[in-house]
Chain A
Amino acid sequence: MLAALLIVFREVFEAGLIVGIIMAVTAGVLGRGLWVSAGVAAGVIGACLVALFTGGLSQLFGGSGQEVFNAGILSFAVIMLTWHNVWMARHGRELAAELKAAGEAVVAGSKSLAALAVVVAIAVLREGSEVVLFLYGVAAAQGGASWGMALGGCIGLVLGSLVCLATYLGLVTIPARYLFGVTSTLIAFLAAGLAAQAIAFLQQAAIVTTLDQTVWDTSWLLSDSSLLGRALHTLIGYVDQPTAMQLIVYAATLATIVVLMKLFSAPPRHRPQTA
């Protein structure tokens, strides 16, 4: 029971941090509950499918199927987060300031929601597939699911969900005029962390091998397997022994997001020149 509780809590906790941020980012947007729920549901279904096909997946790409798959979906999440931030930089103020036609705003807003729902789905899928595999393995080993396992799983789920709720409630107490800046920053760091994680998978598969020397070691200060370390790993990509390549990708992702946000940010309003 304790093992089930710990594993379920740990995975729900990690997915919950991301879902909590996305909930805060989309606070007040019409229809966001539906999109986020759809993302969670898609993630759960995806997790079951991934768990079901893990055997086949592992055999792809010369035995590196899992790594390539993880790197692929993480990269996709990075693109979605980047797109969201750039979109918000362009339209966020515009929407608020100019009161565009309501219909257009809803359509445009839902595009950005869809991107974030994909991120929610990927977060749930990644953490959820481990839960499914673990619980299935335990159930198979003891010849069926037990009450202890179910109870442990449920407690883990509830505790993990509380983290999600706390993240959300913590973020929405930020005054509205700062919220945009705070969430954009959070999303940029989240994206950079996910990109570095994608590279770590490619390094584990020996697909990326250049610049694989460890740059620093802060495991004595904060291990990335401790609870705080895990939280920071999920939120900003904290790694206690990063490789040079991970750091370069992290910095490059952050820089790309900042540059794109500047490039596409809403231009200052020009009045037509009347000579």
Chain B
Amino acid sequence: MGFAAALLAAATICCAATARADDAVSLSVTLKDHQFEPAELHAPAGKPIAIHVKNLNTIVSEFESTDLHFEKIVPVGTEAVVYVRPLQPGRYNFYDDFHHATQGYLVVP
């Protein structure tokens, strides 16, 4: 009974996460040789955003942003996604928290 409830909750969470992925503005960035490619992303103001990040470095990264309020471990060779709340126009910084020289920006005109 409890297990079934947990499964149901898990399924709901999965569906909620996938449903949300559909109406967010989707952006992609790759980590390679400790550089973000592209180093500057663009998104419209006032819309939820999904940033997909693929780690092609040879070591694990922590994709993080103080400005955008997310932090996520991205193991080698995997892709992760973080969701960002709707933004005001501005220039927002993100970085690899395990390698601070790796910096990128999200520009909202």
A binding-site residues for B, Cβ under 8 Å: 3, 7, 54-55, 58-59, 61-64, 66-68, 130, 133-134, 136-138, 140-141, 200, 203-207, 209, 212-214, 223-225, 239, 241, 243
Contact = CB atoms under 8 A, between A and B. Distances in A.
A216 to B, nearest CB: 13
6 contacts: A58-B73, A62-B18, A64-B17, A134-B60, A138-B98, A203-B83
B45 interface: no
| Consensus secondary structure, chain B interface | mixed
A63 B81 contact: yes
B42 interface: no
A204 B69 contact: yes
Contacts of A207: 13, 16-17, 20
B78 A58 contact: yes
A63 B66 contact: no
Contacts of A61: 10, 13-14, 17
Contacts of B99: 3
B13 A133 contact: no
Interface string B52-81: 000000111010001001111111001111
B77 to A, nearest CB: 9
Most buried by A among B48, B78, B85: B85
Given A68-B13, A203-B83, A209 B72 contact: no
Contacts of B71: 204
Interface in B7-59: 10, 13-14, 16-18, 20-21, 24, 48, 50, 58-59
Contact of B85 (A7, A62, A130, A212): A212
Contacts, number: 92
A67 to B, nearest CB: 8
Contacts of A200: 69
B69 A209 contact: no
A90 to B, nearest CB: 28
Nearest to A137: B59
A213 B87 CA distance: 9
Nearest to A243: B85
B73 A66 contact: yes
A209 B82 contact: no
B72 A66 contact: yes
B13 to A, nearest CB: 5
A213 B85 contact: yes
A143 to B, nearest CB: 11
A62 B66 contact: no
Find the residue from B16, B48, B100 having the highest chain A CB count within 10 A. B16
Contacts of B81: 63-64
A140 B59 contact: yes
Contacts of B10: 61
B80 to A, nearest CB: 6
A147 to B, nearest CB: 19
A209 B59 contact: no
Nearest to B101: A3
B98 A209 contact: no
A213 B47 CA distance: 11
Contact of B14 (A58, A62, A209): A62
